Amino acid sequence: MEAKNFIEDIINEELEGGVVNEVHTRFPPEPNGYLHIGHAKSLCLNFGTAKKYGGKCNLFFDDTNPSKEKTEFVDAIKADIEWLGFKWYEMHYASDFFDDIFELAIKLIKDGKAYVCDLTAEQIRETRGTLTQPGTESPYRNRSVEENLRLFNEMKEGKYADGEKVLRAKIDMASPNINMRDPVIYRVLHATHHRTGDKWCIYPMYDYAHPICDSMQGVTHSLCTLEFEDHRPLYNWVVENTGVAHKPRQIEFARLNIANTVMSKRYLKKLVEEGTVRGWDDPRMPTLTGLRARGIPANALKNFCEAVGVAKANSEIESGYLEHFVREDLNANAERAMAVINPIKVIIENYEGSELLDFDTKPQLEESPTRKITFSKELYISAEDFSDNPPPKFFRLKPEGYVRLKNAYIIKCERVEYDDNGAIAQLICSYLPESKSGSDTSGMKVKGTIQWVDAATCVDVTVKKYDYLLKDAEYSGQDFGERFNPESEKIFVGKAEKYLAECKEGESFQLLRVGYYKTGKENGKTVLHEITSLKDTYKAK
């Protein structure tokens, strides 16, 4: 099979050499928050690689840190994965394996490869050494196996307070890799776990638990992000020294970073908790639930992840790149409809009555289906489509000027009526009866076509436009709070075809000349949420 990244190169080599005979991956979130776009990349990689090789991919909840984890997050993570359309082979929790993980710690103690240490967290840090200096051995390093077994069991029985004792792997305090300098593998933590309740008051550390859980699940390739590269020797040490039967391999890949957005759960949580955004599902959030609320199609996100690819070095992607795939998907799939922003009334003085016109709902198809729209004497157009002081080359409506109303007629602006404040009150226009779209015999060529709605049948809507969550960083390390873009949400009044108020909530449309929008309701009123603009600012490299 042709490899499309370095991970597939490795797998191909292993399959050829008989090192492995199947591919089994896992997606390993910690249920301490909601998934974001970065996780989508990891999901696409783990599920995609398994699928390509006819293998399996598990969903694995890394729940070794009970103080931060919640069932709410577990449920949200599952819903997000299902939204992306991935089906896990089996679902496991690290907590399913707590008994095995404990027994393997006992084995390490019996083999003289782990010891109970009474140093405080701070003392452990201080004696760990630096990149240029070796660490110093703990005075508890040479406790007897019997004493270690007794103390470790006492830790488990709840005899010690949080932080009073830890279990450490006995590896090498002079190792050039600091992670190998007798890392802590178990800690005392009197916290209620969202699944095991108060059964345990000691919890294994990630670096120790993860390889064991991978092995127990039959994972062949444990794919993780680059910051774990330095932890790989410890991963391998745990696999070798606990003697687990099945030996998985850790491979690191680059994180996905996107400009003008934040991908760390810690900061996303802060935005939610401080009320800067309305919740994890705020449409400006880079969370999968936020993207779904925004109306981003799952397929667009997957195509984006695919296009970004898998690399060994970290980089930052322009946010326009994701929008490019969103537009590509919506342009092909979304129905068209009409709405106007900041409406101005248009009176067609020579038109009487009303009629039904054909509106092309999917002009992107070779044969567009049509839907009937109403046309009558009073209409609305967007404020930006009229100017009483037009710059050169203004091809929308202007005094004495002509414009085509989409799927309707050519109109001419005869005069402008102003209110007492000097603002435009309404436009008095005339129409050319023979210019009807589809049967135009007017012989008239007009440069501009604009969208409109019929005043008799349209509905009031709220239009919400979104911009990047964060402003550009002015200096590196600037706090995300300071970078929050107060203009990330802007609200406008609008008028829309009644069709948009009557259709299913959450449907996506291309609003002609306005953008891609999703329908919603707030307090019974129709809201149109911007998904993305019409224009592609992304230049493919």
Just list the catalytic residues.
30, 255, 265
With binding defined as CB under 6 A, does residue 41 bind ligand ATP?
yes
Candidates 78, 26, 49, 8; CA nearest to 211 is 26
Which residue number, 96 or 385, has a Cβ lying nearer to ligand ATP? 96
**Binding span for Mg ion by CB under 5 A among 27-35, 98-106, 181-189, 348-356:** 27-35
Q: Which of 23, 25, 38, 323 binds ligand ATP (CB under 6 A)?
A: 38
* Residue 437 token pair: 């779209």
> Could you give the CA distance from residue 237 to residue 216 in angstroms, rounded to a whole number?
16
**Binding span for ligand ATP by CB under 6 A among 137-145, 189-197, 255-263, 291-299:** 255-263
> Could you give the CA distance from residue 65 to residue 200 in angstroms, rounded to a whole number?
12
With binding defined as CB under 5 A, does residue 267 bind Mg ion?
no
Q: Which of 4, 12, 30, 276 binds ligand ATP (CB under 6 A)?
A: 30
Within 475-494, the residues that bind ligand ATP by CB under 6 A are: none
Candidates 306, 380, 66; CA nearest to 199 is 66
Q: Which of 14, 30, 100, 172 binds Mg ion (CB under 5 A)?
A: 30
Residue 514 near residue 451 (C-beta atoms within 8 A): yes
* DSSP character string of 218-272: T-SEEEEEGGGGGGHHHHHHHHHHHT-SS--EEEEEPPEEETT----HHHHHHHH
Binds 224: which of Mg ion, ligand ATP, none (CB < 5-8 Å by kind) = ligand ATP
**Binding span for ligand ATP by CB under 6 A among 158-166, 256-264, 299-307, 399-407:** 256-264
Which residue number, 41 or 231, has a Cβ lying nearer to ligand ATP? 41
**Binding span for ligand ATP by CB under 6 A among 27-35, 52-60, 67-75, 309-317:** 27-35
Nearest distance, CB of residue 480 and ligand ATP, angstroms = 13
With binding defined as CB under 6 A, does residue 264 bind ligand ATP?
yes
> Could you give the CA distance from residue 78 to residue 83 in angstroms, rounded to a whole number?
9
> Could you give the CA distance from residue 243 to residue 428 in angstroms, rounded to a whole number?
86
Residue 447 near residue 368 (C-beta atoms within 8 A): no
> Could you give the CA distance from residue 41 to residue 223 in angstroms, rounded to a whole number?
12
* Residue 411 token pair: 């109109």
Nearest distance, CB of residue 345 and ligand ATP, angstroms = 49
Amino acid present at 494: G
Alpha helices in 53-144 (DSSP H): 71-84, 98-110, 121-126
Nearest distance, CB of residue 28 and ligand ATP, angstroms = 5
Nearest residue (beta carbon) to ligand ATP: 38
Nearest distance, CB of residue 258 and ligand ATP, angstroms = 8
Which residue number, 109 or 223, has a Cβ lying nearer to ligand ATP? 223
DSSP state of 470: B
Cα 507 to Cα 234, 290, 334, 467, 521, distances in angstroms:
49, 15, 9, 21, 11
Residues that bind Mg ion (CB under 5 A): 30
Residues that bind ligand ATP (CB under 6 A): 28-30, 38-39, 41-42, 224-225, 255-256, 263-265
